């Protein structure tokens, strides 16, 4: 490994607050995923400024450093540096007693799901590709399903999925900070061949003719073992607390195995299987009634979740459907088409652009996204420029409609790029393979067209501004009035890098001292988010403004917000738009600062106000 990565590793560790602030670390395909004891101790800007870091995202309870395809090499150097600094997982995993705000329930759930599934994704991807290769060999009559070669290759590819409960037991125990080896032992009870034999016999099963055991197989399942380890963790801690240390090493595991073995096979496991059956019903209903919806929604919006680091919380949907039904039609097709859309749009911008840097970023990250890793394209080009993100999302959504209407499904899980098309060969048919190829083609064609149209509009406008007379004299001026009373702060001080880095556009922010938000000009309401936390407006002169009420307040799901307008309403300057209970929003531990963003320009914006404003004061001039 190069000295560049050693230097980068040191800078990352030092600026997340050092080893004493690190609770745990793992990585996915592009990101280092830290769980820090106190995020406030990390120097997010210092890490983001490093040329080898694409972006820093704090989401799902994790401090995520986006590196790119070389993340595994960087991870190795980070771990080596942490170990050299004396990192001790047992000591440093103690709860932080600082002042960090408690995470909301969504963050806790997202963090838990991501933490237990992310580490096993490489194993699932590798096994999935083996099974996809086997399907190809069978389809083209290279080997027979009755041959020993088929049996051996199928065993190689199926091992990960058959013993998936053991992998999940280990990662769940790690997340819950309990003994992972005891968790694996309990999971082994659930997938033991003897238990499978008892289930296959079809006879009632009981312990001492008193405790009924429900005949359910747990090989390849997801939910039952997670529920079992969630229950095992507190029981294990209780046993370790009450059993004397001199005999603990022998009797604590023995008692734990008996308790959890019985509970797993009699109550908890069957309950998890019941939940899985319910999900199977939901998947079946979706496939029969609205098969177009999941691929359409994921194809269009999945990439936005990737930008904010929330996508891993959805991945278990594919694993669960695959384990329950033998195929995945809800998660896999839409995600594949989302990546194809973003890769195609980035590649097109790279090919069309005359700027050498944009050309280099677009072509390289576009190809990477087509191979299944979209983060470099999203962070390096599509999200900063916006229109490639929109073009790729349009293409992914349209392709998703075709994939959904044809009930396209994959039979293994793994990478979501062009190599993944082999995973759509199964059920002794090539139909799903042809359907995903057609969906990919539609996604690419629509994305190319959308990118061409948007590139011509936005890039031409950008070039024209540089060569013609100033925009201000061409279009006339526009004034933005303060929509709320409060203290004006610079966007760079907003505690959200999407706003502070002006990724959505230029503007200012206001820390409100009043609960009412008013129209900043004469114009029209163009967007009112269902969660009521943000309003989009367009002035009569064409200026587009986003008023974002608070940071992460989308999680409140509309609570404490009372809108007085609806989409397409024509409004006058000073008209009441929204009432927000900022006291209650603060009590819920949310930042109440209000960014006012000019989404259609980053240039020729001047501040026209003092540090304190009231409704009706001039805030900005365009």
Cα(616)–Cα(430) distance, rounded to whole angstroms?
64
Cα(580)–Cα(424) distance, rounded to whole angstroms?
49
Cα(25)–Cα(262) distance, rounded to whole angstroms?
34
28 is an active site residue = yes
Marked catalytic residue, from 8, 16, 28, 113: 28
- C-beta atoms surrounding 378 within 10 Å: 27
Contact 480, 604 (CB under 8 A): no
Q: Which positions ≥6 away from 101 have C-beta within 8 Å?
A: 589
What are φ and ψ of residue 568, in 5° steps? 80, 0
User: What Å distances lie between residue 561 and 273, 316, 371, 553, 582, CA to CA?
Assistant: 40, 32, 42, 10, 9
The torsion region of residue 15 among left (phi > 0), alpha (psi -120 to 50) and beta comes to: alpha
Query: What tokens does 119 get?
Result: 């580490």
Contact 459, 386 (CB under 8 A): no
Beta strands in 397-521 (DSSP E): 479-481, 486-489, 506-512, 516-518
Cα(53)–Cα(8) distance, rounded to whole angstroms?
9
Tell me the H-state helices in 118-202. 121-139, 148-162, 164-176, 180-190, 193-201
Surface-to-core class of residue 133, CB atoms within 10 Å of its CB (0-12 exposed, 13-18 middle, 19+ buried): middle
Contact 535, 525 (CB under 8 A): yes
The residue among 269, 267, 272, 294 whose CA lies nearest residue 283 is 294
Catalytically active residues are 28
């Amino acid at each position: 490994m190069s000295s560049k990565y050693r230097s980068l590793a040191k800078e990352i560790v030092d600026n997340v607050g050092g080893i004493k602030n690190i609770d745990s670390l793992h990585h996915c395909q592009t990101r280092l995923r830290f769980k820090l004891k106190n995020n406030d101790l990390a120097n997010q800007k210092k890490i983001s400024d490093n040329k080898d870091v694409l972006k820093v995202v704090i989401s799902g309870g994790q401090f995520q450093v986006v590196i790119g395809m070389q993340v595994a090499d960087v991870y190795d150097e980070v771990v080596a540096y942490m170990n050299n600094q004396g990192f001790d997982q047992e000591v440093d995993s103690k709860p932080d007693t600082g002042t960090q705000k408690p995470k909301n329930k969504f963050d806790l759930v997202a963090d838990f799901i991501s933490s237990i599934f992310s580490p096993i994704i490489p194993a699932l991807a590798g096994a999935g590709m083996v099974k996809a290769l086997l399907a190809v060999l069978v389809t083209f009559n290279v080997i027979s399903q009755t041959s020993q070669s088929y049996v051996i290759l199928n065993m190689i590819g199926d091992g990960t999925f058959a013993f998936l409960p053991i992998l999940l037991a280990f990662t769940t125990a790690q997340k819950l900070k309990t003994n992972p080896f005891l968790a694996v032992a309990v999971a082994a009870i659930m997938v033991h061949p003897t238990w499978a034999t008892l289930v296959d016999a079809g006879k009632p099963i009981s312990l001492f003719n008193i405790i009924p055991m429900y005949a359910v197989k747990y090989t390849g399942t997801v939910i039952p073992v997670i529920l079992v380890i969630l229950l095992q963790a507190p029981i294990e801690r209780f046993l370790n607390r009450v059993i004397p240390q001199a005999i603990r090493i022998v009797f604590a595991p023995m008692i734990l195995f008996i308790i959890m073995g019985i509970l797993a096979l009699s109550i908890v496991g069957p309950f998890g299987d019941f939940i899985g059956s319910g999900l199977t019903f939901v998947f079946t209903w979706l496939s029969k009634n609205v098969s177009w919806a999941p691929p359409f929604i994921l194809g269009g919006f999945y990439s936005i979740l990737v930008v904010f680091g929330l996508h891993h919380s959805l991945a278990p949907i594919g694993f669960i459907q695959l384990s329950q039904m033998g195929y995945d039609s809800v998660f896999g097709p839409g995600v594949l088409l989302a990546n194809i859309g973003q890769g195609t749009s980035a590649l097109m911008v790279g090919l069309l652009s005359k700027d050498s840097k944009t050309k280099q970023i677009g072509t390289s990250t576009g190809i990477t996204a087509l191979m299944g890793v979209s983060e470099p394209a999203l962070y390096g080009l599509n999200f900063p420029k916006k229109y490639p993100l929109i073009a790729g999302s349009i293409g992914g959504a349209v392709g998703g409609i075709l994939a959904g209407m044809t009930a396209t499904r994959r039979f293994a899980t793994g990478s979501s790029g062009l190599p993944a098309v082999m995973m759509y060969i199964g059920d002794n048919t090539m139909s799903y393979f042809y359907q995903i190829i057609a969906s990919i083609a539609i996604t690419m064609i629509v994305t190319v067209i959308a990118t061409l149209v948007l590139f011509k509009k936005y890039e031409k406008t950008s070039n024209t501004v540089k060569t013609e007379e100033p925009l201000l004299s061409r279009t006339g001026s526009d004034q933005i009035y303060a929509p709320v009373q409060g203290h004006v702060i610079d966007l760079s001080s907003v505690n959200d890098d999407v706003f502070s880095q002006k990724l959505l556009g230029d503007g200012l922010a206001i820390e409100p001292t009043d609960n009412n938000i008013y129209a900043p000009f004469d114009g029209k309401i163009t967007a009112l988010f269902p969660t009521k936390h943000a309003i989009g407006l367009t002035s009569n002169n064409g200026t587009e403004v986003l008023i974002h009420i608070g940071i992460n307040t989308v999680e409140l799901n509309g609570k404490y917000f009372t809108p007085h307008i609806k989409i397409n309403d024509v409004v006058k300057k000073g008209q009441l738009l929204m009432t927000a209970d900022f006291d209650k929003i603060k009590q819920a531990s949310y930042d109440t600062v209000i960014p006012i963003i000019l989404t259609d320009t980053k240039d020729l914006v001047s501040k026209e106000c003092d540090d304190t404003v009231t409704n009706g004061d001039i805030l900005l001039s365009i």
